[in-house]
Structure 1
């Protein structure tokens, strides 16, 4: 069975008191979905706030949830360390995003349909190999790897990729729905702005192609549009 999760790297929340957070170790990959508890939503938002809230020397310490979320909203673009974690349960292989990979770029997996390779991070450095109608994915062994790839790759039919990404999108929409609930409770005056910011910067709600054929047709149209300077709406919200 293939399981693909949108994951966010957690941070150390020891002593964090601005809102309730789940007791999770730092640097864990937290799967985002409708199945999260509200304390897990709190932990995810604490991570996003730490990564993106740029305080200056003149800023006073943050003492309430509203101020922390306002600083997050002021980020030019929300960065979400993480990405897509891919697990094959029948051979117990997991490929996790490497360091410096960002969940905000998850739609770059669509590039695989045209034979390209998305940035998957380093240390480890996941590796993708294109093989006819399959992609083979190793946990390590990419360009910046310090060791040879593992002997057991995960194989994914290219025709299945669009469906997989639509499932990822559904999970992220579930996370966004729970975030709206969380914000209505903890920062009601900022709830709409927070949901809109995360939706746009993490490219959550914009539609994806429904199948491989439509995806290829859309990419042909996107390539044509690129020549005229139009944006690629499939990859960014």
Structure 2
């Protein structure tokens, strides 16, 4: 893929008012910033993603870590704010907006077959269109016309390659979750990996 274009899976960091309470280590972070998912994440970064998963799905984070993680395993239909971000050198990134979720990331792959833009959030409302030899990704205008929308063009081959890379990075991220769970002595580490795999359709058999 052209090194000037990056396609990456991201998760939005949690919101908090005074102090972020969590039963395991997390890094310092700004609320509503984006964290790239990959196999190169640190344990505190992995912990932050898991903490966001709990908080966003109304699982009490103030409990003991074993309780929180088992509550995650018991929950159904888990979602995470985020999705896929596209970065082009010299331009603003186009990022998932409000109500966009990582759980729908495979809709980007489906788009290549259907031509139907995946849901990328609102305010702004990013969207994309297939122009044949390239994909045009718009920063806004998916719900109604937007005067100040800009776009990033990605060749079809780079777009496909970028999505394959996203899938590989998400799979590597899954194994980081298992390793992180082992590090904090959660005995059901493999089940936690499987839970993420199931909820976010990552494709580990």
Q: TM-score with structure 2 length normalisation?
A: 0.89
Give how far 1:54 is off.
Answer: 4.5
Q: Is the 8 A contact 1:53 1:68 kept in 2?
A: no
Larger Rg: 1
Give the secondary-structure state (helix, strand or coil) at the position aligned to 1:116: coil
Unaligned stretches of 5+ residues in structure 1: 56-60, 207-236
2:109 is matched with 110
d(CA) in 2 for partners of 1:43 and 1:149?
34
Residue of structure 2 aligned with 1:23, choices 28, 35, 40? 28
Note if 1:40 corresponds to 2:45.
yes
Contact 1:65 1:187 in 2 (8 A): no
Using the alignment, how far apart are the partners of 1:95 and 1:111 within structure 2?
A: 19
1:50-199 matches, within 5 Å, as: 50-54=55-59, 62-89=62-89, 91-114=90-113, 115-144=115-144, 147-150=146-149, 152-199=150-197
Rounded to whole Å, the distance in 2 between the matches of 1:18 and 1:191 is: 16
| 2:9 paired residue number | 6
Alignment gaps of 5+ in structure 2: none
Contact kept, 8 Å, 1:124 with 1:139, in 2: the verdict is yes
Which structure is richer in relative contact order (CA contacts within 8 A, separation 6 or more)? 2
Q: Distance in 1 between matches of 2:153 and 2:7?
A: 13
In 2, Cα distance between equivalents of 1:164 and 1:24: 27
Q: Which runs of 4+ in 1 moved over 6 A?
A: none
How many residues align structurally?
199
- In structure 2, C-alpha distance between the alignment counterparts of 1:54 and 1:65, rounded to whole Å: 12
